[in-house]
Amino acid sequence: MKPFARFKSALIILIPLDAALILLHCLYLQGMLGERFSIENEMGYAESYQHIKQLAVALAAFALLLKGADLLYLCWTLLFTYLFIDDSFELHETLGLRLSNNFTSAYGLRTQDYGELLVSITAGLVFVVLLAISYRRGKRKARDESKVLLPMVLVLAFFGILVDMAHVEVASNPWHHRLGIIEDGGELLVMSIILWYVFTNLQENVLGLPRRRA
């Protein structure tokens, strides 16, 4: 129990670490640090940290699937695996670029932005359908946990899609940089909360350890 308890306690550093990365990004904007300290840099420290969190959530959801044998956990495993692959290999950016010839620029957005939006919406609809089907057949515990996870994922989508679109459209400073901080900083914070929640359930459902009460 003690090793996991120490690990669970270490999750408390997630939010402060997110805040530190956002602060380092602000220092980068002031020209005080290199590009890898930018939270918008796909090869930066913050993005790598985000990938680790996404993969950790996917693995934790898979462990819950093995324990609970519920298709809802399979949906969450697939969703966070997709997010990990998408962010790591810029999947929606690549597909969006290929689809860009089907669109015209409008409202300050590039044709590639519309292609990326189509890819994100399509992927989102697929997971919504899978979750809806699995929810009807899911066990009560998995359904209750999904009711908590779904709003957090929607908030993550808000930052990753809607705020991202606004970030692209507003090209003038200082709001371009502010929206970049809101977008990527918001994603960092939400993923930390999701990771905390999923690992709390992993502790209770798989390892059989009680939740730590406040």
The model's pLDDT over 84-99, given as tens digits with 9 standing for 90+, comes to: 999 998 888 888 788 8
pLDDT at 1: 42
- CA–CA gap between residue 44 and residue 26 (Å, rounded): 14
Q: How confident is the model at residue 214 (pLDDT cuts 50, 70, 90)?
A: very low
Q: What pLDDT does residue 2 have? A: 45
Gap between the Cα atoms of 87 and 178, Å rounded: 21
pLDDT band at 204 (very low <50, low <70, confident <90, very high): low
What dihedral angle (degrees, nearest 10) is formed by the CA atoms of 89, 93, 99, 103? 180
Name the band, by pLDDT with cuts 50, 70 and 90, for residue 167: confident
Residue 6 has pLDDT above 70, yes or no: no
pTM attached to this predicted model: 0.87
Please state the φ and ψ torsions of residue 109, each to the nearest 5 degrees: -105, 145
- Provide the pLDDT for residue 168: 81
- Enumerate the domain spans of the chain: 53-205
Mean pLDDT over 145-165 rounds to 92
The rounded radius of gyration (Å) of the Cα atoms in the chain is: 18
Instruction: Give every CB contact of residue 178 below 8 A, 6+ residues apart in sequence.
Output: none
Q: How far is CA 199 from CA 9, 67, 80, 196, in A?
A: 11, 14, 14, 5
What the block records as the tokens of 180 is 């970049």
Residue 211 has pLDDT above 70, yes or no: no
- In the chain, the amino acid numbered 54 is Q
* Distance of alpha carbon 5 from alpha carbon 67, whole angstroms: 20
Strand-pairing partners, residue 19, are none
Contacts for 40 with CB less than 8 Å, ≥ 6 apart: 25, 180, 184
210 within 8 A of 204, measured Cβ to Cβ:
yes
Local confidence band at 11 (pLDDT 50, 70, 90 cut-offs):
low
